[in-house]
Amino acid sequence: MRKIALLLGILAIVMGCESTTTPVNEAVDPELTQPCEDQPELFDYEEDALYLSAPVRIEEGFLAIWRDLIRPFDNSWFIDQLEPGLFEVTREADISGTLFIEWNDSSITEKDLFCHGVRKAVVSRPRRGVAGNLVEVSGTRIETPGTELEINRIEVAADFGTRIYEDPLEMVSFPEDLLHLVAGEEVTVRVYGPPLESIVMLRTPLYNGQFNPIVMQDEGGYFEGTWQAPQFAGIYRAAADVLSHETIYDPDSAYEGVAWIIPYVVE
């Protein structure tokens, strides 16, 4: 089984920025978007598409829902030089496509979707022409612009105890401060914030390597789902994927969703 990439689109690094924050267009200087040497697939929004597109069976009345995302995504890079050789890189992406809802009578409802994604990292790069190394990384936040859907926090509980996430864009030292799990251990995730009528899905590779998203259950004040960590060591990600009730059940309502994607390590 190939090592699954950590959570975000391949990050760019810049040397010698003259301004504090520099918007970067990949077409202007391709060197600014070279991959990091230690994680060549890190921060790839195309990998996020694998997580957010897999079909999910919501309940008995549905065959499945899935997303067909238009790729490549429209990316913007923002690079902030913190000190010589050290850069904070923010990658934003406009993500569009179609949500498909297939019912048991084989009819299909389609809805246009548009979301905005954000992720961050701190990268060290001693000089031009040298690929950078990750120092800190964040998770990803993807949401419909203007949505009132919110995730307030996520709790991840396993043998190590409980880890709480209150902001997916909070950066942590890479890789030592990522969430670390033991291969095959049972992991429970609780998502707080979405209205109780929301559809909340947990998306992450399962123990056997299969990618079968889990519909999280309303436990009275939060949503909960459990899975077994993959059996192979590597860097993975887990997504809490929320859709509004109206997105699924009201054919005249526009698409509305929010997702937090959290990187983790299996040892």
Sort 6 into a burial class: Cβ within 10 Å, 0-12 / 13-18 / 19+: buried
- CB of 24 closer than 8 Å to CB of 78: yes
10 has a pLDDT exceeding 60: no
Q: What is the pLDDT of residues 119-151, one digit of tens each?
A: 998 888 777 666 678 889 999 999 999 999 999
Tens of pLDDT along 138-188? 999 999 999 999 999 999 999 999 999 999 999 999 889 999 999 999 999
Band (pLDDT 50/70/90 cuts) for residue 7 is: very low
| Residue of 16, 45, 43 lying closest to 32 (CA atoms) | 16
pLDDT reported for residue 202: 92
- Between CA 253 and CA 255 the distance in angstroms is 7
Q: pLDDT higher for 259 or 3?
A: 259
Could you tell me the CA-to-CA distances from 70 to 24, 93, 95, 96 in Å, in that order?
22, 12, 7, 6
DSSP tag of 134 = E
pLDDT at position 61 is: 63
Q: Where are the domains of the chain?
A: 21-266
% of the chain residues with pLDDT over 70: 76
Q: State residue 29's pLDDT score.
A: 38
